[in-house]
Structure 1
Amino acid sequence: MANLKSRFAKVRIGVPLLALIWLAITTAPFIFVVATSLKTQDETFSSPVWALPSRLYFGNYAAVLGGPYLTYFRNSAFVVGVSVLLIVIISAMAAYAFARLRFRLNKTLFALIVAGMIVPLHATLVPIYLLTRNLGLYDTPLALPGPYVALSLPVSIFILTEFMKQIPRELEEAAQLDGCGPFRIFWRIFFPLSGPGLATVAIYNGIGLWNEFIFAYMLTSTPEHRTLPLAVWDFQGQYSSNVPAMLAVVTLTSLPLIVAYAFGQERVIKGMMAGSLKG
């Protein structure tokens, strides 16, 4: 009995200790980035790497914000916002059809869509580039939402289909007795009840698209239409030896994701737990 209590005591101490160690490991890089971005260029090379700045220097942020950074930010907000909205609506409607509607090619089409998750990203680069060129969308605000939505739909449909299968059929049958058709049932019952799953899909895709680089680099060519990952790329060339300025760009680019996750983490966790516990 004493040995059992001793083991439980070690577990109670060990788990929080491991959590603190993991917290330190994950936050140390971000602390380093922020601290270095607040140093002058001379101090960066004359002081130890992990040393805190002797004084807070915001000139790096002023230089970044005085450039085209806000244009990059506006482009990212537009592209990601439009893409996530379309992903949520289209994937939810498709998931409802696969989860609840009975038609001949239901399983076959669902399997083909899920198979899209294993298609290598780089195998689509040339076809998407040529299609974007032929449609006259190259280097325009509408160059990126199309590929983003298409490449994000397979995993989003898969997540939401499994989620909607767990919604009680009694609600659907009651709505049918009230004279509701499939479209009204979807919008009045399935779409609202799928809120946790929709939030998970939205935040998951939003984070991924906010950081997407390869398509943004390939389908845009001017600063007027480029997104934030390319801002980091461009500032790396512009400030090739100015490390604090580059890290100021990284900090500003990361802040929207940190704020979004800080406010949405509870909803994401609930969505993930709901999808894993049901069924």
Structure 2
Amino acid sequence: MKLNLRIGTPLLALIWLAVTTLPFLFVVVTSLKTLDESFSSSVWALPEHIYFGNYVAVLQGPYFTYFRNSVFVVGVSVALIVVVSAMAAFAFARMRFSLNKTLFAIIVAGMIVPLHATLVPIYLLTRNLGIYDTQFALLGPYVALSLPVSIFILTEFMRQIPRELEEAAQLDGAGPFRIFWRIFFPLSTPGLATVAIYNGIALWNEFIFAYMLTSTPEHRTLPLAVWDFQGQYSSNVPAMLAVVTLTSLPLIAAYAFGQERVIKGMMAGSIKG
């Protein structure tokens, strides 16, 4: 039985690695082919000559505008999510007030609100505020819809921080604001990293709000690059896959860098104390 587990576990891991890696390898390999070669050669055949013309053509277009917009929107949104959710989590985890449990339950219930049920109200609100087709139109929905799960994660994490640290700070005359910034915020770094990476990856891939609340390439984010380039390169499969590759690389790099931090943050929040 033990021998079977020793063989079966690595085998399953290799199968899963192939399932997740081969599609991306196919995209990269095909993006390095010319249009004629993509039609004349086998799907999995390596390119006879590595051709970077597809990437040059894409980068000469509005790709960097999409990239800049994504960096701005995701960066500002994640910063706001981390700060606001950390403050709310501190209040729910450490401050006693009559509606503590009720408000926390209402916020957590926000995780089950269907995304599509908010599209029309958010669209109308954005139009009425006069920020439609701007980068700022995305900040509100991104932050608001990310807060429930972020507050839930950080509240459970902050509840595990030893109360003795808080009591010692109170004896030194520290108020709630100082206790939060000097003690809870630094000690919650693993949880904050989890929230930042989790939401950063999710918002980098977000499509529906970006598509609905923006209409021009000057304000659209990177996931929409594939959609907008589709019309230009609809018959040029290698060029389209070059767009897909360039769009995916930042996300893959972020996940490769952050996956261990996410796991450690989750584990720290669940077993600490």
Q: TM-score, normalised by structure 1?
A: 0.96
What code does the residue aligned with 2:53 have?
G
- 1:3 equivalent in structure 2: none
- 1:4 equivalent in structure 2: none
Aligned partner (choices 121, 125, 136) of residue 119 of structure 2: 125
Aligned partner (choices 13, 23, 35) of residue 29 of structure 2: 35
Q: Deviations over 1:236-266 (max 9, x none)?
A: 1111111111111111111111111222222
Instruction: Tell me, in whole angstroms, the C-alpha distance in 2 between the residues paired with 1:268 and 1:109.
Output: 27
What code does the residue aligned with 1:150 have?
A
2:201 touches 2:255 (CA, 8 Å); kept in 1? no
- Number of corresponding residues: 273
Map residues 1-279 of structure 1 onto 2, 5 A cutoff.
Answer: 7-278=1-272
SS in 2 for 1:268: helix
What code does the residue aligned with 2:220 have?
R
What code does the residue aligned with 1:88 have?
V
SS in 2 for 1:144: helix
2:201 touches 2:254 (CA, 8 Å); kept in 1? no
Instruction: Pick which of 44-53 and 225-234 moved more.
Output: 44-53
Q: TM-score, normalised by structure 2?
A: 0.98
What code does the residue aligned with 2:114 have?
P
Instruction: Tell me, in whole angstroms, the C-alpha distance in 1 between the residues paired with 2:267 and 2:103.
Output: 27
What code does the residue aligned with 2:225 have?
A
Instruction: Tell me, in whole angstroms, the C-alpha distance in 1 between the residues paired with 2:62 and 2:164.
Output: 54
Instruction: Tell me, in whole angstroms, the C-alpha distance in 2 between the residues paired with 1:126 and 1:214.
Output: 12
What code does the residue aligned with 1:215 have?
F
2:230 touches 2:240 (CA, 8 Å); kept in 1? yes
Instruction: Tell me, in whole angstroms, the C-alpha distance in 2 between the residues paired with 1:214 and 1:22.
Output: 29
Runs (4+) of structure 1 exceeding 3 A deviation are none
Instruction: Tell me, in whole angstroms, the C-alpha distance in 2 between the residues paired with 1:35 and 1:127.
Output: 43
Stretches of structure 1 that go unaligned for 5 or more consecutive residues are 1-6
Stretches of structure 2 that go unaligned for 5 or more consecutive residues are none
Offset at residue 276 of structure 1 (A) = 2.7
Instruction: Pick which of 258-267 and 161-170 moved more.
Output: 258-267
Instruction: Tell me, in whole angstroms, the C-alpha distance in 2 between the residues paired with 1:48 and 1:265.
Output: 35
What code does the residue aligned with 1:256 have?
P
Offset at residue 24 of structure 1 (A) = 1.0
Taking only aligned residues, the RMSD between alpha carbons, in angstroms, comes to 1.0
What code does the residue aligned with 1:252 have?
L
SS in 2 for 1:250: helix
Amino-acid identity (%) = 86
SS in 1 for 2:197: helix
